Amino acid sequence: MATTSESNAPDPSLLAKAETLVEALPYLQRYAGQTFVVKYGGHAMGDAETARQFAADIVLLRQCGINPVVVHGGGPQIGSMLKRLGVESRFVDGLRVTDAVTVDVAEMVLAGAVGKEIVGWIGTAGGRAAGISGKDGWLVTARKVERPDGTDLGYVGEPLHVDRTIIDTLTSAGIIPVVAPIAIGTDGWTYNINADTMAGAIAAALGAARFFLLTDVAGVLDKQKRLLTDLSPNDITTLISDGTIAGGMIPKVETCVKAVEQGVGAAVILDGRVPHVMLLEMFTQRGAGTLIGRAA
Ligand SMILES: Nc1ncnc2c1ncn2[C@@H]1O[C@H](COP(=O)(O)OP(=O)(O)OP(=O)(O)O)[C@@H](O)[C@H]1O
Ligand SMILES: [Mg+2]
């Protein structure tokens, strides 16, 4: 037999939890049935606890009737495998020249290890996920990146065409797609695509309501390292030309602008190291990170 005190006043901390759920209701109603594309950066994949929280958030979104699609990176993971294998890399303007051996390693690491690790975390959180690459079901067809200065980067591609069939098939079966940024080119070769660019092309093809890019910084920072919370395409052009936005942040912001122009509801760059950052963005008035484009 169990007993409790006679008072029917609920425990304040439990009440706060109930209130949080009720506050989320309008957001849940607004997002139900919509697609969210989440780019999970290789740099944001830190410790096991962060990965566990990320996976739990993805499963929660799915449970709330949202269709999440995960596209992941893996720059650091590819780098450390190349080092272990003793494969030397050549860089041009900070970009890794991807020869035949390097693209093999990239495919092995991204589609074989990183993707399956995320699938495992989602499974542990009680969800069902499938790790695929752009090759599966012709999800993404690539073309070789041609640089204006003529530098040959090897097997570095960009998305030419997206066929959403495999995503729709998995999603309608209750399976969360986890996509590695590898695709076949029109020439039949395998290409490694920048994961941000890959995610943006998929977000546009799916008409995603939200495009979240989880990385290892708070968002886009200015020269004084302050967070820029909203950016227009014009702001972005200025910040790239004056050198404020550099390195891996360039494809990220360019992808966001393109995705929003192509009909994605809003693109948000978020700090993947912050626990439950996607939920904070979705369920609070003024979210975290840098918003590019108008919210639907
Ligand atoms: N203005 C800026 N604000 C914030 N970060 C910037 C800025 N300019 C350059 N960066 C760099 O961009 C990095 C994020 O891009 P990066 O490609 O390294 O990570 P990612 O895309 O999350 O991971 P991956 O490429 O493995 O998928 C930051 O860690 C930072 O060093
Ligand atoms: Mg990157």
The token pair at 268 is 């948000």
Q: Kindly identify the ligand whose nearest atom is closest to the C-alpha of 74.
A: 1
**Residues 113, 172: contact at Cβ < 8 Å?**
no
| pLDDT at residue 16 in the model | 87
pLDDT in tens, the chain (296 residues): 777 666 677 788 889 888 888 888 998 899 999 999 999 987 778 788 889 999 999 999 999 999 999 999 999 999 999 999 999 988 877 778 999 999 999 999 999 999 999 999 999 999 999 999 999 999 999 999 998 888 899 999 999 999 999 999 999 999 999 999 999 999 999 999 999 999 999 999 999 999 999 999 999 999 999 999 999 999 999 999 999 999 889 989 999 999 999 999 999 999 998 889 999 888 876 678 999 975 33
Ligand 1 atom closest to 228 (CA):
3
Ligand 1 center from residue 249 Cα (angstroms): 4
| CATH class for the region spanning 32-292 | alpha beta
Helix (H) or strand (E) holding 64: none
Q: Using alpha carbons, select from 129, 257, 130, 132 the residue that is nearest to residue 203.
A: 257
Ligand 2 center from residue 94 Cα (angstroms): 12
Q: Where are the domains of the chain?
A: 32-292
For residue 75 and ligand 1, the question of a CB distance below 6 A is answered with yes
**Residues 170, 202: contact at Cβ < 8 Å?**
no
The total of other beta-carbon atoms located within 10 Å of residue 186's CB is: 13
The token pair at 253 is 């912001």
Q: Are strands 95-96 and 91-92 parallel, antiparallel or unpaired?
A: antiparallel
* 3-class secondary-structure state, position 123: helix
Amino acid at 156: V
Q: Whose CA is nearest to atom 4 of ligand 1?
A: 220
Give dist(CA 272, CA 278) in Å, integer. Answer: 8
Ligand 1 atom closest to 44 (CA):
22
Give dist(CA 36, CA 69) in Å, integer. Answer: 6
Ligand 2 center from residue 30 Cα (angstroms): 30
Ligand 2 center from residue 289 Cα (angstroms): 16
| pLDDT at residue 10 in the model | 78
- Residue 188 half-sphere exposure toward CB, CA atoms < 13 A: 0
Ligand 1 atom closest to 244 (CA):
1
| pLDDT at residue 7 in the model | 67
Ligand 1 atom closest to 72 (CA):
27
What's CA 143's distance to the chain center, in Å? 21
Give dist(CA 52, CA 124) in Å, integer. Answer: 8
Q: Using alpha carbons, select from 203, 183, 170 the residue that is nearest to residue 134.
A: 183
Predicted TM-score (pTM) of the model is: 0.93
For residue 94 and ligand 1, the question of a CB distance below 6 A is answered with no
Give dist(CA 40, CA 76) in Å, integer. Answer: 13
Q: How many residues does the chain have?
A: 296
Furthest CA-CA distance within the chain: 79
Q: Kindly identify the ligand whose nearest atom is closest to the C-alpha of 44.
A: 1
Geometric angle at alpha carbon 63, from 195 and 111, rounded to 5°: 25
| pLDDT at residue 1 in the model | 74
- Residue 94 half-sphere exposure toward CB, CA atoms < 13 A: 7
Cα torsion for 63, 24, 214, 48, to the nearest 10°? -60
Q: Kindly identify the ligand whose nearest atom is closest to the C-alpha of 42.
A: 1
Mutational pocket test of ligand 1: of 43, 229, 235, 252, the residue with most ligand atoms within 8 Å of the beta carbon: 43
| pLDDT at residue 4 in the model | 67
Measured over the CA atoms of residue 239, residue 244, residue 246 and residue 251, the dihedral's sign is negative
**Residues 119, 129: contact at Cβ < 8 Å?**
yes
